Structure 1
Amino acid sequence: MAGTIALPLEEFIASLDNASLPKILQVCSGVYFQGSVYEISGSEVCFSTGDLIKVIRIELLSVSCEDVRKNDKFELPINHTGLFKVVPDEMPYSSIEELLSLRPVGLESSLPFTFSSHSKMTFGTLTLGPGRALTVLSIERHKGEEDQVRCHVKGQQEASAEVRIPLSSRGEFYECGSEECFTLQEIMSSPSLRSRRFHFINTTKYEQPLVLSPVYQVHAIMNLRKNVLKFPSNLEVDVVDVTEQCKDADFVNPLSLTEVLSQPDESFPAVVEILECPETRSLFKCSWLPELNKNQHLVFHKKGTTAMVLLSSLKSRKTQQYFLVSQQYGGRLRRRPREFNSVYELYAASTRTPGLKVSVTRNCEEVEEEGLPALSVGDQLEIVSCTRMELLCESSKGNKQSVEALLCQHLSDPNDVDDDDDDDDDGDEEVKEQDEKTEVLLPLYMQGHFVEILSDNKKYRLSDLEKEFSLPLDVKVVSRDTGLELDPLVGAACLRIEASMLEPTIQASFPHRPDYCFEIPTQWLSLSVSFTKHPLPWPQGQPPKCNIERVTEVTDVFFYEFRIRGNTDEAPPPRPPKRDLSSLSVTKKSSKSEKKSSKTSKAKNKQKSVPTDQFSALTLNNKKRPPAPPPPDGLNDEPPPLAPRKLSEAETATRKAQPNTYVKMEQSIKNDLYDMSADVDSDHDYESMDESLVSMVKTAQEHIVFY
């Protein structure tokens, strides 16, 4: 493109691709909204005449659709699923060669296509009238002869013929409509197609021809600004390509951390400036991360690859923590026994640790139908292999069901050997040998609680643990790393080494403290920097001795992202076999009836032992009273006499108190109750009442008032 031709920014960007970048543009004119300032995605973009813009990347965002006749515009996403057809040009072509050269795509890939002639055409003995449609089938090239196109002509009464027309044939030719359809992606990828007009198919929303234009997001830098600009390509700005004239212009070169790794080793150490802050601060919980602010300077000492491990603290009352630790960590660690909550976890651990030995920490009852053996606290097992076991499936009429199981050997506890029985040592040895060979099958779906048996009490370096043992591995820090000001791993009851990795890192520090270094994992931190010409913060040729921060605390988000990236398609734990629902229902019913009968017996026993329940049934506040016992023989069915009205103090003084009507019945009721309890042949199961119960009944009777 000529450097003196001014083009609209949209048209110029549409003619580029990322392979041709970078390009330096100069703003020469434009129509601005609200002056010369654009507010785009929260950043202020200002273009003035004469500004230099260095385009470093373009990204296709959407497609602008313009209805020329109605002067209407709208945008479609690039992944729009609708199809478009080319609208034939109304402009005539003067020759066959011109008609073929202006096809939207390559001729061979777009065949066949149809055109017509405005005038009569004669080819030897064949004459074609005006308006006759000709379909181009192929182009024929012969050495020493003029190129020709082979066309199909459809005549009257379904008659057809083939003709060959030289490319140099002149006339007035028009393109006919085609049934070929295109997607937005195909149209935008072809410069020839972008120059044509289209219309939707299978829709009546827009029947008018549309001009399709790509809308890019432009990533650029300016010579007077340090940050990367992002703006759409459809800004109404005219630009000129001045790439050749401004090769030596001073532009800030923003680099991502991945691009920093590609720089030569001679570029380090250097002072860099942060242009864009980290986008995801939730991955790390380290002390240096909050200081990575915009325009902050850093010292990049060197680049490299660091061997690291991912640690996690076990779940406890405190919040679970995660650490990214370099294998150069100087502390000493001791192995801790691992805990397992299922047989499947035992199986997974045994595949990485042959000869794994565990101890049972919780009793397990035997369930013969499901193949669950009885385990007691303290039982020691050695994992042998994974095999299969047969279970009797009740629902399948005696058929057996095969499930995966873990073959283990029972180990005898050396503390169980009786030292006093010295006379029968040979017999004890035989029994011990027999116990050691006792085998047990544990289904993989079985839940249980086990702890690893360890006989190793040695102190290890972190790098040695990863070499000698398979991961995951439970450890405890027994001596801190003296090279760290504060070792966050000390004090944790137990840490689990989840995995090891090789991470590309950049060793960095802040200029005010160049000897305190930390390692930035470039794959986990998004940061844009630029190399500066600032001097290093130490005397020339005298770099400081760096103390590297070997432990970096990360968040649970980092841990889960790491697990997702390294996810292996492991099979889930097996399910337990299907149970017989009918037997379960019978069992549930029987258990319910047993519970009901037990509750009834308990209530009956309680009723016998606590006579106050009978007394409470006689109170007026109790809503549900038990049925009254039959009246004694000495009482008739006549209602009791009414109680006398309450007298005043004067009347009370003049009259004598009336005797209680129910006092005379006390002795008869008492005698009748004793007679009832003594009647053994009676059909009623009445219990004898002691003197205290009779006294309570008497008191209750004296307090009953009838209205």
Structure 2
Amino acid sequence: MATTLHEFTQFVDPKTFPRVLQIQSGIYYQGCVYEMFGRECSLSTGDLLKIIDITITRFTARSSNNTEVDIPVEYPGLFKLVSDSQPYRSIQEIAVSLNISSHRLGQPVFLSCLEIDLPQGVIRERDSFRITAVTHKLNGGHVQCELLHREPKFCFSLSFSQQGHFIEGEDDQFYTLKEIAEWKISKGRKRTVTEVKAPAKKDFLFSSLLENVCGELILSPVYELKAVTSLSEKFLLIPSNLDVEVVDVTEEFDCDSFVQPLSLSDVFKRPPEFFPVLAKLSSESHFKLSPELESLFHSTQVIIHYAFYAKRILASELCRESARRFLIPESYNGRFKRRPRQFPTAYDLERARSETEQIRVVATREFESVYNGLVSVQAGDEFLVTKGKSCAVSHNGIEKATDSFECLKVTGKSHGAEAKEPVCLPMCLEGGFMELVRDKRQYTIAEICRWFPLPFNVKVSVRDLSLKLDVLAGVPGLHIEEEISDPCLLVSNVDLSEFREVSVNRTDLILNIKQRWAGESSTCGGMSAIEEISEDCYYTLRRYAVATVTPPPRPPKTPKHPPPRPPKMLSSRSESANSETSSCSPMSLCVEPFKQDDFVQCSDSKNGNDKKIPSSPVIFPRPTLQKALAKGRSLDDISIEKNEDDDNDVHDYEYIDEVQLDNIRREYQEQHINVGVKGKPSNTI
């Protein structure tokens, strides 16, 4: 039965591609196929098309005053979704209409308006649940779900035949139009959105597109079909609103009789039994390739062995301006030495707590505390963050921010031994801390990711000798940020002398699939190069890299009106530091009684037991920054200057010497005595 191309687009399931269509009522200007502006505008009656993909190229946006604007999916603004009020009557309708996957954006949230009885329990009315996976079977299928806002965690499955009244849940995230087109619009439905961030003025192509449009926008998708014919090796891009009638004749024709030009993304989506295949680079134009890939695809044919996810380490150059971004493969054979880390707040310092080592830092700014149980900080004071897990993580995995955390303060040295005392620092302390690195060992990139919590600062000490040009060797320092999973294809030449890992998302190639490879397929990994990526690519990777990881809790907010200062009982800071009744003393932790709610349960990594530590009875205001000293240099300047000098040091010793640290303390004390008569510092609470 003949249907219009628009009707076929509305009801076809992309999972059933490829489909073969025959043109029943064509439209043409000159010849069989007439191409205009890169889109097919004419097709003759009787033409056969093999549809291999369907995408949304633009949206028609209608505003509240009935103004219509065409917006391409490349529009760089951000939008907030308005929940769809039209209900879904069954789980099958949800599974067919939405793109559901393990990706964070592909896990929709729904509310059940009816009570559902299940063997595992009862889904109450107005309960919200997230769909995490979908399974298709011949006689139906089911979805895996996770109930929200209920402890303990409750997971269950719903079959496609489950009837109900399901409404889309509220979504407070912001999305680009490209993300909405791929994940957040149901097939056959429209989507209502509001713009929350317009493009920058310098982006003159889009900045004025929605300038006179305000309020809610109703988006209607405009689809485009990607097709091939038996006469050409090129893609045909056909708009779905082309005025032609088609008939689905997939069962009557062999899909393999058509040439199969596929992008790397299309090849990656193929099932495992599709590989290995013999492919040839299409004659269509492509972006410039790296020298490594240029030599590989220069051959007539290549073998695609299998698709997989490769581990990459995202890193940034340690510099003040125009930092370069890199993707480092796990197979990188260079060696790294540690570089000192900077922790802007005590919250950042506590989040960096490691189970493998103690973190030794020196304070770079002064902080005077007037609260019981919290220590005052002088610039140059040393602190040790002991081994263990972060105190913000409780025993049952639920993260909760605390107001303070406990560490050790180095109070002095005698006969080669350090004197330490336990102290508490407020999470909101913006004092700034510089790490003291005494570790001279050299690490591989895999050891850094396995032994230390990221982010981490390093510098290449021994370059990778297997590379002709190691771009990381000339970088003064690297900020190792996180590990990501990068979709790749293992590609080799026909004689199996060269294997390469080819990234799917960052390589624009069209391949013509010839046939399956009958020879032996290699199971070994291929070579992978260090990639320098653009700023846009970097932020896209950061957005999707840790989609399944729960973000850390936010640090405590500071109140607008801080509590009144208690009366000072001691005459000087030195007397206060040595007194047992001092507000900076560990003994003062038990002066004010804590309520039950003021305790946070933490895991003790040393003996495996759970213990409760008190959180502060108040929320601490954010201290104001101290003004620069009247003369002399601050410790921040000294630290930065030292790091810059380290880059030119042939020995590459990346630690602060104890003698130099004593000189810094002595210089600061002399400056403090000179300016101390003018008044106390202003950054006190």
Q: TM-score range by the shorter chain?
A: 0.3 to 0.5
TM-score by length of structure 2 reads 0.47
More helix by share: 1
TM-score by length of structure 1 reads 0.46
